[in-house]
Structure 1
Amino acid sequence: MKIDKIILEHIKMPLLHPFETSFGKLLEKDFLLIRIHSGEHIGYGESVALPNPTYSEETTGTIQYMLDEFLIPLLFSNKIEHPDDVSAVFAPIRRNNMAKAALEGAVWDLYSKQQGIPLAKALGGMKKNIDVGVSIGIEKSTEALLAKVEKFLTEGYKKIKVKIKPGYDIEPLQKIRERFGYDIPLMADANSSYTLDDMDRLKELDPLKLIMIEQPLSFDDILDHAKLQKQINTPICLDESIHSAEDVRKAIECGSCQIINIKIGRVGGLTEAKKIHDICIKHHIPVWCGGMLEAGIGRAHNIAITSLGNFTIAGDTSASSRYWKEDIITPEVELSAPGSISVPETPGLGYELNEDVIRRYLLDRKVYEPK
């Protein structure tokens, strides 16, 4: 795989609606769009870090630095025959998983285009359609929350995820159950906002019959989650604690969770995401694909990985119009049926760039060529 040049474009786009979690409120998202050129083909990648180091230690700024100083030079100076080689090349660099994933994702897209196959097929995916859900942030009022839940249920989304934090947890979830019943697939995402001191409070979730509570305890914890899982009936799903297949092995051995959320950026790329998927199959642990408020290219990567067989729970990859007035891809990601998105069948990601939208929100552009 001969790489002719790499282009980084820094883009900042306003979110269609403010999105609030226990980390704070987001009004816009900035990210890096990566283009890897090789002959007639171009592979696309997208960084997914948040503007501030709240979800993880990475930001768009740290990713740009890592790409500029370390990862792009490493990619140019090593022979890449297959996208799996990228993980080995980047292995000496500790963490910085979102930076690695952004560049590796573009290599995967490039490779699948060179092979003339969809990225989903290159990854081993078999599904023609994927089930999708929505993630709802912390709302100003219960009525505003219930209105959103009703809207998304009407649109057919197959999982409702509600962000919670101490002081905003039991009551809003109870109101959803009272209004819509216990048949809707409902989960809570705590984003590490509780401790074991909140055990009694977390036990109050059990009667609500949630499909899971995501990452209730510390972002770097595995042991305390195992203690909590023994005390509550609600399945725990780990998110921020999982950065590698090795983390998954430890979490399963400790009994820390019953479900794993796979985010491509958090685990360092598609190759590691596949490894986690395969370990979870062996241990009968279902997985699903989480979201990071991705624009179209990141969203397309999520669709591709979700085509693998053990993604049995609807993920967060909803339609582009859920978050953006206009997306950077064409066509935009849309529901092909209620609660479902079709997996593209054309080579690569299956989406093209909308250059007009990119120019509108472009902050900076840099071109790299091998020396």
Structure 2
Amino acid sequence: MKLTEVKLYTMEMRMKTAFTTSFGTMQDKTFLLIEAKDESGVVGWGEGVAFDTPWYTEETVKTSLHMLQDFLVPMLIGRELGHPDEVTGLFQSIRRNNMAKSAIEGAVWDIYAQLTKQSLAQAVGGTREKIEVGISIGIQPTVGELLQVIAQFLNEGYRRIKVKIKPGWDVHVIRQIRARFPDIPLMADANSAYTIEDIALLKQLDEFNLMMIEQPLAHDDIVDHAILQKQLKTPICLDESITSFDDARKAVKLGSCGIINIKIGRVGGITEAKRIHDYCEAHGIPVWCGGMLEAGIGRAHNIALTSLMNFVMPGDTAASSRYWYEDVIVPEVTVDAGYIYVPKEIGIGYDVNRDIINRYAKNVVVIK
């Protein structure tokens, strides 16, 4: 496998509804699509999940484009690769920039799956035929509106509800959700909105039988999370704190969490995500696949990864129609009674809709 050409598409697409977290609100989403071609003419696709502002990590769409164009893609063009796992090693001299690395690595995995005549799920070692999915709901204008949104997605069959919380929008909100929906699988995602000084407040969430509290403390912390976890009955799930295999290993050894959210872009690609999955499986730590408001290509990669056996909790890979008026893949991702069926077709399992890509691409960079 040898890449001969890579195209970097800067996309701008409007989501159906605004998505609000403790970071801020987003409705118009800018992101990257990567089209890579190998010497035999096989084309693979990847998606960059960085936002256009450095809310979630320090990366942005522009920094990812810079890293891909000036460093990462030139390191791969014309180089013989035996397996996608080699990409991680080649990129070791470049610090962090995990979302940029993941974007091109995902395209390499797609090419590899096609060359070996496997589905992407098979290529990564997945065995599940269908995956259980939940839904992530942003902060709503009122609790009443939040309850209506929850009811809507439960009626659509989603098997777990995740709600965003932040100071001032936390205990009283969860209490009202539980009063209305006493038995649903429910988790709260804080996106690093609290500090260790908020232990007393966070302990109040123990009464609501939550599946987990996701990333309550700082994005780069595993020490205070270990202190907090000892005080809580509810499992802590780490998200932003886990950017590599070593982060996961240290967090598990410190007792910083009981669950880990694996996002391909956050950890630098499928290869690193698989390593984290395998380590957590060996140490009895359940994992699930988080979402970054992906379009269809990123969604397809998430589905393939989630077919691995230790993804035992519903992920955030909702149907395409949850976010998009029209997606960049055909057919779009659909949810059937709370499940997504893992594609068996060779590669990512979906066709790319070039008409949609061309319509929403604001810029294309070609590297040969």
TM-score normalised by L of structure 1: 0.98
The 3 A distance-change label for structure 1 pair 89 and 77 is farther
What CA deviation, in whole Å up to 9, does each residue of 1:236-288 have, x standing for no partner?
A: 00000001111111001110000000000000000000000000011100000
Name the TM-score, length of structure 2 as normaliser. 0.99
Q: Name the counterpart of 1:360.
A: 359
Residue equivalent to 1:42: 43
1:90 has 2:59 as partner:
no
Partner secondary structure for residue 253 of structure 1: helix
Contact 2:3 2:78 in 1 (8 A): no
Q: Distance in 1 between matches of 2:52 and 2:9?
A: 16
Q: 1:359 is paired with a residue of what secondary structure?
A: helix
One-letter code of the match for 1:246?
A: D
Question: Aligned equivalents of 2:3 and 2:244: distance in 1?
Answer: 27
Cα distance in 2 between the residues matched to 1:61 and 1:8:
12
**Whole-Å Cα distance in 2 between the matches of residues 95 and 2 of structure 1?**
24
1:169 match: 170
Describe the SS at the equivalent of 1:204. Answer: helix
Question: Could you list the per-position Cα deviations for residues 42-97 of structure 1 after superposition, in whole angstroms to 9, with x for gaps in the alignment?
Answer: 10000001110010000000000000110011112532110001001101100000
- Counterpart residue number, 1:136: 137
Q: Deviations over 1:149-170 (max 9, x none)?
A: 0011111111100000000001
Separation in 2, partners of 1:160, 1:51 = 27
Matched, 1:238 2:238: yes
Q: Is the 8 A contact 1:127 1:307 kept in 2?
A: yes
**Does 2:118 correspond to 1:117?**
yes
Decide whether the 8 Å contact of 2:34 with 2:46 is kept in 1. Answer: yes
- The 5-angstrom pairing of residues 203-352 of structure 1 reads 203-335=203-335, 337-352=336-351
Q: Residue type matched to 1:151 in 2? A: Q
CA drift at 1:4: 2.1
Distance 1:319 1:74 in 2: 35
Q: Output the CA distance in 2 between the equivalents of 1:77 and 1:54.
A: 35
Is 1:157 aligned to 2:178, yes or no?
A: no
- Conserved? CA contact 1:214–1:238, under 8 Å: yes
What's the counterpart of residue 12 of structure 1?
12
Amino acid at match of 1:244: S
Equivalent residue of 1:140, what SS? coil
Any conservation in 2 of the 1:78–1:89 contact (CA below 8 Å)? no
Distance 1:200 1:4 in 2: 57
> Separation in 2 of the partners of 1:215 and 1:32?
26
Q: In structure 1, how many angstroms separate the alpha carbons of the residues matched to 2:244 and 2:43?
A: 28
Q: How many aligned positions are there? A: 367
Contact 2:10–2:362 (CA under 8 A) maintained in structure 1? yes
Tell me how far apart the structure 1 counterparts of residues 214 and 343 of structure 2 sit (CA, whole Å).
Answer: 29
Structure 1 CA distance for aligned equivalents of residues 68 and 358 of structure 2: 22
What amino acid is the match of 2:117?
Answer: G
Q: Output the CA distance in 1 between the equivalents of 2:3 and 2:146.
A: 48
Q: Which runs of 4+ in 1 moved over 3 A?
A: none
Q: Are 2:15 and 1:24 aligned?
A: no
* Mapped partners of 1:166, 1:118: distance in 2: 43
SS of equivalent to 1:37: strand
Q: Measure, in 2, the Cα distance between the counterparts of 1:175 and 1:30.
A: 34
Query: What residue number does 1:106 align with?
Result: 107
Structure 2 segments unaligned to the other structure (5+ residues)? none
Indicate if the aligned counterparts of 2:5 and 2:77 stay in contact, CA closer than 8 A.
Answer: no
- Say which SS state the counterpart of residue 57 (structure 2) adopts: coil
In the alignment, the residues of structure 2 paired with residue 77 and residue 121 of structure 1 have an alpha-carbon distance, to the nearest angstrom, of: 26
Q: CA deviation at 1:22?
A: 0.4
Give the C-alpha shift of residue 138 in structure 1.
0.4
Q: Deviations over 1:104-147 (max 9, x none)?
A: 00000010011111000000000000000000000000111000
| Coordinate RMSD, CA, aligned | 0.7
